[in-house]
Chains A and B, each alone.
Chain A
């Protein structure tokens, strides 16, 4: 077996493709699936409303929609488009599909808490930022309107938005859903850095911020804080 001096490699040495090719993936995907975006984007916009409703069936529907988004962006963008020019993207693609199936299963069999009323506005605001604002980052990078990164079709936007839904999962199950998103954030940040596509770094950065906020928004977080306050209430001693 050969000795490999890994320290002699730079991040750029692992890049198999050039910066011209990456934005073209978004453009080609959008061209190939047009006009389905007109259905997918409005569907994404109703997720916060479903998540905040008391009816469990609507929350389940929202989780299924997000699970489908993971499967779509994994099998579509990552395996079919990105995987052609970058082998690790294929592995991530199937990991996204597995994560989508896992989320669908958890959404089906777990009882999901509704977003606490006081936090519905923050949840909706973050969700809409992820689904409406973040898609423009590749447009900003490439200068091509057709490079819009649509939720459910591309991984970074899907991940950023759906981390809010991950937060709705019971805390003990949440840990099983974190490794793939975290690995993807690392991988995509390293890729964009190596490509010197600095605007795209906003996507993993935004994902991490939303991730952090999702812990604050999650019902289990709210519940544990309520429980603390109950213990400290002198009236109830």
Chain B
């Protein structure tokens, strides 16, 4: 099937290439110089490529109308985009996050550079379209790339409406989310029966329940996987705060704990992208570094998981 690129897809692709060409410093530590471009993954339903590290906005962008903090979050978003990121995820549940994301996108004039993903979060199953439109206005985007039913809330009604909206071209990809490892059985049933493009779930070096069923099912059904809580809501950093990186982690070009945790996630073959959230530019730089260089092999992944569990 022929794949037609939209202007946005073209810009995202060009952006990734431009970062690769203009930021040699990003790749200076690569051992063989062959992997000098961002790690990207393919969305199974269209074969479109997206960068493997995205950006979440839960808590971090909910700063109200605080002009200073909105400016600092704009810098975080700028760093994300400058380093080749494009997938940004939000939800109406996240307070003022969507408004501030919209302000940041406006300040950077970057609406065309993002793969815009949000969620439908309301128990009112007749409010799907209205909430999607409200979110679109808050972001200031022409249309969303991905709309997801948040935490399975009212999923039957929302999915029906979303399928109609997608068929009309009102957005491009359809998804459903869960987090904290909750309701995996129900999610699996939905994945098995509904025409989903994406699922979003929690997966990290300690929370690996998704491996037992959902990740395999996603591959089997051709569903892209977006991973939330890759740092277990920063608990992983607390767990390793007095630890130094094990020397063998250098095998995968890992130079920080953020890279360690993120490379573990995105190296799973079923994972399309991880969406860590941060409020600091320095942390965003570390997150985005995980999108370059080598990925751990399966044996190294097991070693990573065993090591973190032992702490």
Which residues of A are interface residues toward B (Cβ below 8 A)? 1-3, 5, 8-9, 12-13, 15-18, 20-21, 24-25, 28, 81, 84-87
List chain B residues, Cβ under 8 A from A18: 59-60, 62, 279
Contacting residue for A24 out of B62, B69, B151, B153, CB 8 A: B69
B96 at the A interface (CB under 8 A):
yes
Contact B95–A8 (Cβ < 8 Å): no
Contacting residue for A17 out of B63, B182, B183, CB 8 A: B63
In angstroms, Cα B183 to Cα A9, docked, is: 13
Contacting residue for A84 out of B65, B94, B233, CB 8 A: B65
Which residues of B are interface residues toward A (Cβ below 8 A)? 59-60, 62-66, 68-69, 94-96, 123, 151-154, 180, 182-183, 233, 279
List chain A residues, Cβ under 8 A from B60: 18
A-B contact pairs, 16 of them (CB 8 A): A1-B123, A2-B152, A8-B182, A12-B233, A13-B180, A16-B62, A17-B63, A18-B59, A18-B62, A18-B279, A20-B69, A20-B279, A24-B63, A85-B62, A85-B95, A85-B96
In angstroms, Cα B62 to Cα A16, docked, is: 7
CB A177 to nearest CB in B, in angstroms, measures: 30
List chain A residues, Cβ under 8 A from B123: 1
List chain B residues, Cβ under 8 A from A81: 64
List chain B residues, Cβ under 8 A from A13: 180
List chain A residues, Cβ under 8 A from B233: 12
In angstroms, Cα B64 to Cα A85, docked, is: 5
In angstroms, Cα B48 to Cα A45, docked, is: 66
Contact B94–A16 (Cβ < 8 Å): yes
**In this complex, what residue of B is CB-closest to A83?**
B64
- With A12-B233, A84-B96 already in contact, the answer to whether A17 and B152 are too (CB < 8 A) is no
CB A215 to nearest CB in B, in angstroms, measures: 38
- With A2-B153, A84-B96, A87-B95 already in contact, the answer to whether A17 and B180 are too (CB < 8 A) is no
Q: Please list the 5 inter-chain residue pairs (A to B) with the smallest Cβ-Cβ separation, ordered nearest first.
A: A84-B64, A85-B64, A16-B95, A17-B62, A18-B59
In angstroms, Cα B62 to Cα A25, docked, is: 13
In angstroms, Cα B65 to Cα A84, docked, is: 8
List chain A residues, Cβ under 8 A from B59: 15-18
Contact A17–B69 (Cβ < 8 Å): no
**In this complex, what residue of A is CB-closest to B280?**
A20
CB B281 to nearest CB in A, in angstroms, measures: 14
List chain B residues, Cβ under 8 A from A24: 63, 66, 68-69
- Best-buried of B65, B151, B152 by chain A (most CB within 10 Å): B65
Contacting residue for B182 out of A5, A12, A21, A25, CB 8 A: A5
Contact A85–B63 (Cβ < 8 Å): yes
Contact A8–B64 (Cβ < 8 Å): no
Contact A21–B63 (Cβ < 8 Å): yes
CB A193 to nearest CB in B, in angstroms, measures: 16
List chain B residues, Cβ under 8 A from A17: 59, 62-63, 95
List chain A residues, Cβ under 8 A from B69: 20-21, 24
CB A9 to nearest CB in B, in angstroms, measures: 8
